[in-house]
Structure 1
């Protein structure tokens, strides 16, 4: 039987690994730029529920829509400004709010509407366009293409997820720190034979193995067991717990040097049922990630750092019958860092009365998340608004400056 990439993919379960979760397909990227402010972009995959994270308890319709989910300061959320409250799981970030290093934008979205597909929503978020296929690559890479002096370590896409927003012509280093690609010599040979007829996969395998050997030489990974009898399930070892803080620590280490842009994902935001527990865990990871970044870069660089966490869409205004929420439209954007003018919830609030909801089910978007991202890029990199609207986010009208940075 001829072994091809297709047959390898269909037999990935027999190999005991998921190629979608390995550095063979989803490498990590980094890059260095001619500006000083650091930018960290975090993609919150799964659709974060804006109404549970930044709770509009001051809206009279909120309590009726969310009967069992978190409901303002009376349910333990931290009051922000008398109208919004912060989910209890983000309580570790409340000091940043008080110091002006944490803020939010409520009721924003990409132009994506109605179909509410994770895949399309994430692609559109990272492409930064009004529709799928309207431009190649991602908006962060297109920003780098506008700037002189960009080098391969200017931006890093960190982790095991594909980061479309950093794909493109600008040089970006790719690496998967701690990805756990530990293979015996026999397993390496088998994988090489499987991929031999596909140059793309064969080269990716060789690169991933070389990067892993470099990691192991630095003590980053345990060595693979040289056991000819090892089963297929041991071909690739999964990374151990605490991956989010490990990625944040690695990003911080790079940002202390020449790197100016880092991007990675945090999963776990698709809370169709038992949202109370699922969202608590996801927000806990997000809080730990931000605090790890803050500690890792140190006070001086943190004062020159902007973090933006964005998601592909929000969730339904009403909770469903299983204690969760379904795919929606309007969502929230989180901003953090010493360079951020925080302590504010930006965005025009649309209201939660049924007539105010999008399709009578979702939080209605009143702002384009790309506009806030464009103004953030303008402040961080100095890129002109004309280039941002024509090339980075094609066809975007940035509108007025919301003053995101100090």
Structure 2
């Protein structure tokens, strides 16, 4: 029987050539881009609404324990006489002591009252206000940042999982890759692939990118903690692993690849970590995402070697969680939350932000931590410090309608 092969047939039957449609840059969860400056920026979206009051605990506020009598009782390391770190991040304390870890409390996007994960994440990644023009709401703020950098070019990317990253959507090109995808293509199959897509420039470019990424992975030489180059081990096989082990393997694969690229031409990275929606049994539920976040930061630091000193890492979430614990020893969707910063380029060892208090009259809508700062302003000041981008461009082009306020000196 004669088999006719066209583009659709190839995408449906890609496994016959040892690759899958997932290898093509159609879905993004993390993106890398080269840029004309020497510092590195890593942005992590913490999907599900991280409870900032549990991660960076205001134990010095006399109302805190009364509002959460059965939640967050495990003692964590003291950051100072007011703040306590969740014990699940205790492995980051050497960074705090070295001034390479910091936090910002009582921040949020302009999103208010509806408390929808989808809408909150859309606004977080678009970098807009409630009344921003529609043309800004269609693009992600990181894509607008890339589009405005003279000489910046999209380089390489991959997805950890299958989710999209709206923070990167827009006219600036972005390429994607999933770490569990294997591209084992023979020379003959590669020639067939190139001929198949010759007359279709978008597909020809996508296929070429997927093959180049495969070759690049074989050539990567990450840095070990001692600063010496060593051959990269292949990402651990993920199919068939239990979910916790699979999640850890994904984080390790991403950190190794990201560090290798950031040591070269890549300057900007975005990704997301899920699992922060802790409506019930929060004491146990929050430990897994905290472990992944700690793992990511520590493996990035180890893999980056000296480049860590030029790196700023910021983690942000769509909104915070309720101040009071609920009946299932969890927390519900709230407003004010926290951000995490790390890297040798930041001025850490501090908890920034204006603390609003936890008294009844201090709470937003009688239930939430009142936001006193904007997550967009934090990101904008980091970008300003790293890249020297003009405040006007950040407030009008990257984060439309933002008032950056006073420089908090994060970088």
TM-score band (shorter)? Answer: 0.7 to 0.9
TM-score by length of 2: 0.79
Residue 239 of structure 1: CA displacement?
6.5
1:180 alignment counterpart: 181
Equivalent pair of 1:20/1:26 in contact (CA under 8 Å):
no
* Equivalent residue number for residue 27 of structure 2: 25
1:354 matched residue in structure 2: 360
Following TM superposition, by how much is the alpha carbon of 1:29 offset from its aligned partner in structure 2, in angstroms? 2.5
* Alpha-carbon distance, 1:217 to partner: 6.9
CA shift, 1:115, in A, is 0.8
Q: Which residue of 1 aligns with 2:160?
A: 159
Give unmatched runs, 5+ long, in structure 2: 1-7, 9-20, 186-199, 220-232
What is the distance in 2 between the residues matched to 1:326 and 1:220? 40
Question: What's the counterpart of residue 118 of structure 1?
Answer: 117
| Structure 1: distance between partners of 2:364 and 2:262 | 40
Deviation at 1:143, TM superposition (A): 1.5
Query: Residues 240 and 397 of structure 1: is their aligned pair in 2 closer, same or farther, counting only changes over 3 Å?
Result: closer
Q: How does 1:359-370 map to 2 (within 5 A)?
A: 359-370=365-376
Q: Contact between 2:108 and 2:335, CA under 8 Å: does it hold in 1?
A: yes
Change (3 A) 1:324 1:277: same
Match of residue 227 from structure 1 = none
Within 1, Cα distance between the matches of 2:35 and 2:41? Answer: 11
- 2:188 is matched with which residue? none
After TM superposition, list the pairs within 5 Å mapping 1:38-187 onto structure 2.
38-71=40-73, 75-131=74-130, 133=134, 135=136, 136-153=138-155, 156=157, 158-160=159-161, 161-172=163-174, 174-180=175-181
Selected match of 2:334 from 328, 334, 345: 328
Deviation at 1:108, TM superposition (A): 0.1
Question: Which residue of the partner structure matches residue 298 of structure 2?
Answer: 291
Offset at residue 92 of structure 1 (A)? 0.3
Match of 1:14 in 2: none
| Residues 266, 364 of structure 1: alpha-carbon distance in 2 compared, 3 angstrom cutoff | same
Are the structure 2 counterparts of residues 344 and 77 from structure 1 closer, same or farther at C-alpha, using a change threshold of 3 Å?
A: same
Residue of structure 2 equivalent to 1:395: 401
Deviates more, 1:105-114 or 1:211-220: 211-220
Q: Report the secondary structure of 1:40's partner residue.
A: strand
User: 1:180: Cα distance to partner?
Assistant: 2.7
Alignment of 1:245 with 2:245, yes or no, is no
Give 1:281 deviation, angstroms: 1.1
RMSD: 3.3
Q: Which segments of 5 or more consecutive residues in structure 1 lack a partner in the other structure?
A: 6-18, 185-198, 224-232
Normalising by structure 1, report the TM-score: 0.80
Tell me the distance in 1 between the aligned counterparts of 2:294 and 2:204. Answer: 37
- Name the count of aligned residue pairs: 361
Matches of 2:383 and 2:142 in 1, distance apart? 9
1:178-206 superposed Cα distances (whole Å, 9 cap, x missing partner) = 1336799xxxxxxxxxxxxxx99988995
Does structure 1 residue 275 correspond to structure 2 residue 282? yes
Structure 1 pair 209–336 and aligned structure 2 pair: CA distance change class (3 A): closer
* More divergent stretch after superposition (83-92 vs 199-208): 199-208
Partner SS for 1:79: coil
Measure, in 1, the Cα distance between the counterparts of 2:184 and 2:246. Answer: 13
Q: Decide whether the 8 Å contact of 2:276 with 2:286 is kept in 1.
A: yes
User: Would the aligned equivalents of 1:178 and 1:239 in 2 still touch at CA under 8 Å?
Assistant: no
